[in-house]
Structure 1
Amino acid sequence: MIAALTLLLVFQLVGEVIARALALPIPGPVIGMALLFLALLVRGGPGEDLRQTSGQLLQHLSLLFVPAGTGIVIYGDRIAAEWLPLVVALFLSTFLALAVTALVLQALTHKRPKPTTEAGK
């Protein structure tokens, strides 16, 4: 488990270093996650230790939302003062995510070959 956590943190650190060194507008953990994904593709998937460790982390994912909830409580006045831009950004980003997901799904389903059946021959 320690080795798998170290691997995850190393990829996050590498992502942070790349993001700061190149002054990229992408968060370091996102870059690290993409690098980890590429490494796992090359390697042929995660090992059992990484699979178990990530499963354990996902089981306790709700704990990671505690700091965000605390931030909402602390900055409640500011959120109340700027509610309109927040709501607009929330709806636009949700719509954009749905639209991109639908377009990607449509593109992927059109590229997939249609299955042939025995009755159709």
Structure 2
Amino acid sequence: MLILLAFQLAGETVSRGLSLAVPGPVLGLAGLFTAFLIVPRLAGYMQETVQGLLAHLSLLFVPAGVGVVAHLDVIAAHGIGLIVALVGSTVLAILAGVGAFVLVARLTGGLEDG
């Protein structure tokens, strides 16, 4: 657990110190991933801790639920727009994924024109 918290602290320090738009935990996770690539046995060393955290992953959704309840007035006022934005962005992301797949498949000869 100390390793995870150390990487999160390092990410926060870099993010705030350099005034980056990237959140500190994201930088910390990227650093942890890099550490796993450099020292592969580190991943094995942390496996038990990480599995314990993943077993209780649902607890991480509690703050999101509290945030939704705290902003019910915004959801009530702009609910339709939020739903349209969520559905629209999801559809566009899926279409972009399909387009990228088709392009790569055609460039590599994996998909016949037709």
TM range (shorter): 0.7 to 0.9
Distance 1:105 1:9 in 2: 37
| 8 A Cα contact 2:36 2:43, kept in partner | no
Using the size of structure 1 for normalisation, the TM-score is 0.71
Counterpart position of 2:13: 17
* Sequence identity percentage: 44
Matched, 1:31 2:30: no
Task: State the structure with bigger RCO (CA 8 A, min sep 6), 1 or 2.
Answer: 1
Distance 2:31 2:96 in 1: 22
User: Is the alpha carbon distance of 1:105 and 1:27 closer, same or farther for their aligned partners in structure 2, counting shifts above 3 Å?
Assistant: farther
Distance 1:25 1:100 in 2: 25
Structure 2's unaligned 5+ residue stretches are: 109-114
2:37 to 41, 66, 83: 41
Paired residues, what number?
109
Structure 1's unaligned 5+ residue stretches are: 113-121
User: Is the alpha carbon distance of 1:21 and 1:64 closer, same or farther for their aligned partners in structure 2, counting shifts above 3 Å?
Assistant: same
Counterpart position of 2:47: 51
